[in-house]
Structure formats: C-alpha cells, structure tokens
Amino acid sequence: MNTKNVLIIAFLVLFSSASQGQLLKKVTKKAEKAAERTIERKVEEKTEEKTGQAIDSVFDAPKKLKNKKKDASKNDESTETPSEENNESSNTITQDIVSGSTFFPNVNQLFSENFAADAQGDFPANWETNSGGEVVLVGSEKALRLYPNGIYIANTGKLPENYALDFKLTTANLDYKGLSGSSFYVELVNEKSIAKTTASGAKFGFSLWKGSDIPNRIAVENWGKGVSKIQNNIDYKMADRLNGSIQFTVVVNGKRLRVYVDGEKAVDLPSFLLADAGRYIRFGLKGTNKTMNHLVAVHNIRITEEGEDLRSMLLKGGFSTTKILFNSGSDKLKPESFDFLQKLGKTLQEDTSLRVMIVGHTDSDGDQVKNMTLSKARAFSVANYLIDEMGIDKSRLMAQGRGENEPVAENTSEEGKAQNRRVEFKKM
C-alpha cells in the first residue's frame, strides 16, 4: 500500500470518529432535553400515574399515616446548608387558618369552666339563670346541674365571629316516665340576657324523652328581624346516648353553624346565624322533674377562638398558608403538616363541588430555575396527599408552581422569607 492510500485511510478513520462523537453528543443532548420535557410534562399533569423511578422521585406522595412517626425521625435529613435549614425551620403563620378547641388544637382560649372554685350544692358564681341550679359531682368532675325550665348563661363577654364551644352533657335517670315534652337546647343569641326571648338568635336541641322516637332528631330554629327563618328537624339518633355523657363541639364561623356529637358531624347550616346571632351562648332545659331525680348537667366547658373556616375562604376565592412544611430543599411533607391537610381534606370531602388549584411558592434563596421546579414538586406533594390519604378525586385538583416570582414579603429577612415559603389554594 502506497503512502497516499495510507493517508486516505487514516483521514477516513479520523473523520468517522469525529462524526460518531458529534452524533453521540447530539443524541445525548436530545436525550437530556427529552428528559427535561418529560419532567416538565409530569409537573403540568394533574397527578397522573408514575412512569419512571428517576422522574417520579420528585413527585412521590408522602408515607401513609401509619408511618408518621417513622417520617418524624428522619426530618433532619437534608442536603441544604445550615443557614437554609434554619430558614425552613423558622416558618411563621401568614394567616391563622385553623385553630382552637379539642376539635381544632392550638389556639386562643376565650373561656373555660370546670366549676373548681364552686362548692357542691351552690349555684356557680360565674353564671346567671332564671331558674336556679347547683354544682354536682359527675364521677370525679364537677358539673352544673340544670333545673327544669331554666336558661343559663356564663359571663363570657361578647364572642367573636369565629369560635368553637366544647362541652360535655351528662344525663341520668331519663326513663320514660315524666319526660314527655322535655328537651335540652343550646341557643346562640345576640345579647347577654336570661329573658325567654331575644331580638335575634338561633338554637339547636333535642328531646330527653328516652324510650320514644322523638330524641332521634335534632331540632334547629333561628329568629330575628329580617331573618330568612329556618325551622327544621334533622334526623340524628340521640336516644341511645341518653343516660350517659355526650361530647359536643359547636363551631361558629360567621353565619355558619356546625355541631359535632362525639366527634361526628350532626348539623351543618351555612346561613343560620343571622342578625348578629351567636355573640353569646345560652344553655336551656325544658321539662324534666327533680322529684324523679332526672339529671341534666353540663361540664368541661371551653370556648376557643377560631380562624375562618376553610370552606368559607375557598368559596371567597382562596387563601395561602405557611402551615404546610417540607424538608429543606425537598418536596417531602413534614408530619407537622398532616393535621392541616386532613382538615382541608375533610372540607373537600364535605363539599364535593369544590375544585382547587394548589400553587407552591418559595423564597429567593438559591437558583431561580430550581426554585420553580421545587415549588411545582411541593404543590404536587400536597395534591398527592389529598388524593392518596384523603380520597379526593384527582379531577378536582390542579397543581402548579410560581417559584420565587410572587413574594408576599421582602426576601431580605428570615421572617420575610418564611412568609414567602407558602402554599396557596385557589377555587377553580
């Protein structure tokens, strides 16, 4: 083979290698872009089925509730710098959304009564009535025994628009005899008064005539000038709970009244408390007979201030919160978020007409593109929790991220950054 031919063959080998190198680079770039498009498409979908382990690691739903404790022990796993970790842990509440009572923990207590300072047999010092009553011992607890045809009001002061009332009702000796026409009721009125009637108000109550079918419904009624009157009987079995203790939670959110009996919702009326009804609470007893030793007593009474209910805020357009927490630099939900997310999930379960857009936001620390991706992933983690843990249909949820683009505070302080790391919920 002559020198010319050798040179030609060498040139062809080099040209082929260079072409293959360029082709490989093109293929690699196309693969990278395809992967990016796949991730972006995954973010924009409405929590579709997971298609690949590498991509889906960003969108994994949180552990099941039974793994809460296990997750809690791993909260410190993070790849962020110490300063960024501190930023995450300094979260403050932008808007106080849920709170109060044994039903909604961790809020301002407005009133509490366990009759500890009152002697048995006396009428409690912090109450007023038109019929008398006495402090009695129910098990190991003091309680206020209501007398027949009495109205009772505590010195609570005027209550706000949003609050929760917790109390126990204990009854005994409610046999069939002598209880026709007897009932227990709670009134939410506009003035502090023990008069039989007030200018406006609302009430719920039920019969104490155990042995009949009448206690198996809760009567509701409201009144006042210009009020669209509601008067109805709601089916709910109370008879089996008589001659024992019943836990009530009464939640007032503006015009809305909800009543929970032993943790189960029995009443939910969205436009019931009108004409300033609900500023004061009264207990009432109709009928019963002391000579037959009928016992109706209230105890463990507590009133706590509440935030506006989630349904109301969603119907008004939406809200944002910093109560939803994630591991630093991650879309993994912290267990501290579960109480709020379960309350939101219950709200969506109760009103199936609600459709919600979930929007993630970050502070300005770090790379802008990564912050956008992280905010999207966090929004999807919230959606996935509501779908997987609360059974919300995925067609009712959409998720997207805004990264650092829509701050609500300056990113120059830790407090401002904490306010910007938030999740927003918008009614669709």
Same domain, 364 and 389: yes
More confident residue, 307 or 411: 411
What pLDDT is stored for residue 231 in this prediction?
97
Question: In this structure, are residues 321 and 99 in contact, taking their beta carbons and an 8 Å threshold?
Answer: no
What pLDDT is stored for residue 192 in this prediction?
96
Same domain, 254 and 146: yes
pLDDT band at 297 (very low <50, low <70, confident <90, very high): very high
- Given a cut of 50, is residue 262 above it in pLDDT? yes
Question: 267-292 burial by CB neighbour count: b if 16+ within 10 A, else e?
Answer: bbbbebbbbebbbbbbbbbbbbeeee
Question: In this structure, are residues 389 and 65 in contact, taking their beta carbons and an 8 Å threshold?
Answer: yes
Q: Is 212 within a domain?
A: yes
Same domain, 67 and 140: no
What pLDDT is stored for residue 306 in this prediction?
75
Same domain, 285 and 177: yes
Residues 6+ apart with CB under 8 A from 5: none
What pLDDT is stored for residue 1 in this prediction?
57
Mean per-residue pLDDT, 252-279: 95
What does DSSP assign to residue 215?
G
Mean per-residue pLDDT, 408-417: 89
- Given a cut of 60, is residue 97 above it in pLDDT? no
Q: Is 22 within a domain?
A: no
Gap between the Cα atoms of 288 and 290, Å rounded = 7
Q: Is 30 within a domain?
A: no
Last residue of a domain, one of 306, 325, 343: 306
Question: In this structure, are residues 150 and 131 in contact, taking their beta carbons and an 8 Å threshold?
Answer: yes
Same domain, 193 and 289: yes
Mean per-residue pLDDT, 6-26: 50
Query: What does the DSSP assignment read for 111-168?
Result: EEE--TTSPTTSPPTTEEESS-EEEEEETTEEEEEEPTTEEEEE------SEEEEEEE
HSE at residue 278, side-chain half, CA atoms within 13 A, is: 24
Which range of residues forms the domain containing residue 141?
A: 109-306
Same domain, 357 and 423: yes
Mean per-residue pLDDT, 247-272: 94
Q: Is 7 within a domain?
A: no
Q: Is 2 within a domain?
A: no
Mean per-residue pLDDT, 199-209: 97
Helix (H) or strand (E) segment spanning residue 399? strand 397-401
Same domain, 282 and 359: no
Question: In this structure, are residues 172 and 296 in contact, taking their beta carbons and an 8 Å threshold?
Answer: no
**Looking at residue 136, which CATH number applies to its domain?**
2.60.120.560
Gap between the Cα atoms of 426 and 407, Å rounded = 16
Q: Which of 218-232, 276-290, 406-420 has the lowest mean pLDDT?
A: 406-420
Question: In this structure, are residues 183 and 206 in contact, taking their beta carbons and an 8 Å threshold?
Answer: yes
Last residue of a domain, one of 306, 332, 347: 306
Number of domains in the chain: 2
- Given a cut of 70, is residue 93 above it in pLDDT? no
Last residue of a domain, one of 273, 306, 339: 306
Q: Is 25 within a domain?
A: no
